[in-house]
Amino acid sequence: MAKSFRVAIVTPEKTAFETTAVSVVIPGVAGYLGVWADHAPLVTAMVPGVVTVREQDRGAHAAAKLMAVSGGFVEIARNEVTILSDTCEAADQIDVDRAKKALERAQERLRTPEPGIDVERARLAAERAEARLRVAYLRDGSR
């Protein structure tokens, strides 16, 4: 049996997800970061993307838990992974139509920025919507 560790995803409102895992993949600023038990201590920034968690005792063919996060920070220490993010949505919480509309709005703002439009905010909104859609598509496997 693989060695396990604690994973928690914390938003300003609550602990959105907590489990014992054998691996987690996190969207770091330099690319996706894989974490297993006994990982070296690390604090790093995270970009909007997909967090993939393989839970302990779920079997080799168990589906991974997928969450869309909006970026933030990750701390890895003493076999605990703490992800601090403004938002966290599990695959079954994502409304695909709403995410598509959010992506379209953000892309339109980026294509034709008007005076007073915060381009960085629009870029981050597009990245968050893309992460949500990626989780939904991975969940459904058919889109």
pLDDT digits (tens, 9 = 90+) for 76-108: 999 999 999 999 999 899 999 999 999 999 999
Residue 121 neighbours by CB under 8 Å, 6+ apart: none
- Four-CA torsion 9, 15, 55, 75, nearest 10 degrees: 30
Tell which of 52, 69, 90 closes a domain.
90
Share of the chain above pLDDT 70, in %: 93
SS3 category, 52: strand
CA distance 72 to 45: 6
- Give the structural domain span for 30: 5-90
Is the pLDDT assigned to residue 22 strictly greater than 90?
yes
My answer on whether 64 and 104 are in the same domain is no
CATH at 26: 2.60.15.10
Is the pLDDT assigned to residue 57 strictly greater than 90?
no
